[in-house]
């Protein structure tokens, strides 16, 4: 008989176990899956391009975010982290995949960018050697790969590491465009995320209601010759912490 659940983290780990191993994209055990995803750098994956998100560039151009300490969650090959560093940010970047971090470090070496790339679990950020507070926490494509219960961990991360007056930026799958539109309960019944969960504008506003919405819109569609990355099937949001 197993009766060991006594903390919130125990409950979250129990819920992690309801998903088939191949459906796991968010726990520390998922690194090997992401390594396989990043193994072929020539794949026509839109966000493999060495370009920053168009919305991030827009926030910077309009002064909605200004240089300070930044954390890039699920940084992948580092395109947004490198852009922030080029503009004077002190950047920490974390990803579960050793392959992604190796690629990001190669790009940083090629551009002489100063970014601290770390392989690890953002939900256990102190274990990676990283710590806040951060003036900017930016997530392009990580949030929609979390199972519903791990939103609790995600919000706790923001609460612990986003500085008062800081900014939180997010890019994620949009409802009716990409990803699964199944209700949260159905996600558990099927035991998988179908490649990622889609969100409506309303659901994002509910989830991040403790932050102040600055902007929430669809990403702009950027042509291949653009200096930025943009796809209209994604939401781009910017929120602020007032306290």
DSSP assignment of 180-223? B---HHHHHHHTS-TTSB-B-HHHHHHHTTTSEEEEEEEPP---
| Confidence label for 124 from pLDDT (cuts 50, 70 and 90) | confident
Q: Is pLDDT above 90 for 2?
A: no
Is the four-CA dihedral 203, 92, 84, 166 of positive or negative sign? positive
Above pLDDT 70, what percent of the chain?
100
pLDDT digits (tens, 9 = 90+) for 25-52: 888 888 888 989 998 999 888 888 999 9
Mean pLDDT across the stretch 4-27? 89
| pLDDT at site 186 | 94
Please state, rounded to an integer, the average pLDDT across all residues of the chain: 94
pTM of the model: 0.95
139 contacts 146 by C-beta, under 8 angstroms: no
Query: Among 20-24, 110-114, 141-145, 149-153, where is mean pLDDT lowest?
Result: 20-24
Label residue 132 by pLDDT band (50, 70, 90): confident
């Amino acid at each position: 008989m197993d009766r060991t659940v006594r903390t919130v983290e125990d409950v979250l780990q129990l819920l992690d176990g309801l998903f088939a191993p191949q459906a796991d994209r968010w726990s520390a055990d998922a690194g090997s899956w992401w390594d396989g995803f990043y193994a072929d750098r020539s794949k026509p994956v839109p966000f493999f391009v060495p370009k920053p998100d168009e919305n991030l560039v827009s926030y910077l151009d309009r002064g909605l975010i200004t240089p300070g300490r930044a954390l890039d969650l699920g940084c992948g090959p580092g395109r947004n982290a490198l852009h922030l560093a080029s503009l004077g940010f002190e950047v920490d970047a974390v990803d579960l995949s050793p392959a992604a971090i190796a690629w990001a470090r190669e790009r940083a070496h090629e551009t002489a960018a100063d970014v601290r790339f770390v392989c690890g679990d953002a939900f256990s950020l102190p274990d990676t050697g990283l710590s806040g507070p951060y003036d900017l926490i930016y997530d392009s494509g990580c949030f929609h790969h979390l199972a519903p219960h791990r939103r609790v961990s995600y919000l706790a991360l923001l609460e612990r590491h986003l500085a008062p007056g800081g900014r939180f930026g997010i890019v994620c799958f949009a409802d009716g465009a990409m990803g699964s539109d199944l209700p949260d309960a159905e996600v558990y019944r099927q035991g998988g995320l179908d490649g990622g969960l889609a969100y409506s504008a309303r659901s994002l506003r509910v989830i991040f209601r403790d932050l102040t919405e600055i902007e929430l819109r669809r990403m702009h569609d950027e042509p291949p010759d653009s200096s930025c990355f943009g796809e209209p099937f994604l939401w781009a949001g910017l929120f602020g912490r007032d306290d």
